[in-house]
């Protein structure tokens, strides 16, 4: 399997995972079939859409390859018709979601650099690609986005984006840097969940 094929496969896996998370949120809010599919697509592709609109990579990537739209529709259908069994897979889901997080952060930062965005901006775009879909999902079902008030999630994505940008400036090998970045985001996310770490909360004083 070539590096390009590998990246495509990983990309589609990330889209599938985020699609599942959107569809589960839709089922949870008792949306109808269309609503569940729309939320699946929005969660899976939303981060990439925001990225492409901001860096000027238009038409957005997900519009030019039918598979990017097909995958979240298919996983959305599966969740809609068999979702009660999905709840039992939450451990698997955590692992795949953590991989998706790292992957989207890396793909986002990489694409921003390729479009001439400087270092700090590329880190921001990497983060936004990774969490944008989840933000959209939560806003559409009227929740304060999970990523803003719980657990170590965005931090792991940001770290992956920073590694990609630093690796790029240091002219390290792209594939090696991406692998390290995805592994770090994945590891930090899984360990923090296991150890129940969380980001600091504001001290409310008088």
List interacting residues with a copy of itself (CB under 8 A): 26-27, 29-36, 38-39, 41, 49, 52-56, 58-60, 62-66, 69-70, 80, 83-84, 112, 115-122, 124-125, 135, 139-145, 147-150, 154-155, 198-202, 204-206
The answer to whether 83 and 24 are in contact (CB under 8 A) is: yes
**Helix residue ranges, H only, the chain:** 3-28, 33-55, 61-64, 66-86, 90-114, 119-140, 154-169, 174-195
Least Å distance, CB 173 to a copy of itself, is 25
Residue 147 phi/psi, 5° resolution?
-60, -20
* Residue number with CB closer to a copy of itself (116 or 187): 116
In the bound state with a copy of itself, the residue whose beta carbon lies nearer, of 149 and 169, is 149
Q: How far is the CB of 131 from a copy of itself (least distance, A)?
A: 8
What span, in angstroms and rounded, lies between the C-alpha atoms of 11 and 71? 11
Cα–Cα distance measured from residue 108 to residue 81, given in angstroms and rounded to the nearest whole number: 32
Closest CA to 31 of 39, 20, 42: 39
Q: Rg for the chain (alpha carbons), in Å?
A: 17
CB of 104 to a copy of itself, least distance (A): 16
Q: Match 């990246």 to its residue by tokens.
A: 7
Indicate the residue among 7 and 141 with the shorter CB distance to a copy of itself. 141
Between CA 199 and CA 13 the distance in angstroms is: 28
CB nearer to a copy of itself: give 90 or 179: 90
Q: Cβ 176 to a copy of itself, closest distance in Å?
A: 26
Contact 70, 38 (CB under 8 A): no
Q: Which is nearer to a copy of itself, 127 or 173 (CB)?
A: 127
Residue 165 CB, shortest distance to a copy of itself, in Å, is 11
């Amino acid at each position: 399997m070539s590096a390009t094929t590998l990246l495509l496969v990983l990309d589609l896996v990330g889209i599938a995972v985020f699609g599942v998370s959107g569809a589960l949120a839709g089922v949870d809010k008792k949306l109808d079939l269309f609503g569940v599919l729309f939320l699946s697509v929005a969660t899976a592709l939303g981060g990439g859409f925001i990225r492409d609109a901001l860096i000027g990579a238009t038409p957005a990537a997900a519009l030019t390859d039918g598979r990017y739209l097909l995958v979240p529709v298919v996983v959305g259908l599966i969740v809609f018709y068999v979702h009660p069994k999905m709840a039992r897979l939450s451990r698997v889901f955590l692992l795949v979601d953590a991989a998706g997080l790292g992957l989207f952060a890396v793909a986002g930062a990489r694409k921003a650099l390729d479009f001439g965005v400087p270092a700090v901006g590329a880190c921001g775009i990497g983060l936004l690609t990774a969490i944008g879909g989840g933000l959209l999902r939560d806003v559409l079902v009227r929740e304060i986005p999970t990523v803003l008030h719980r657990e170590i999630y965005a931090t792991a994505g940001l770290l992956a984006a920073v590694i990609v940008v630093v690796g790029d400036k240091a002219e390290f090998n792209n594939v090696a840097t991406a692998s390290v970045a995805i592994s770090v985001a994945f590891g930090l996310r899984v360990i923090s969940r296991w150890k129940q770490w969380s980001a600091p909360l504001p001290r409310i004083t008088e």
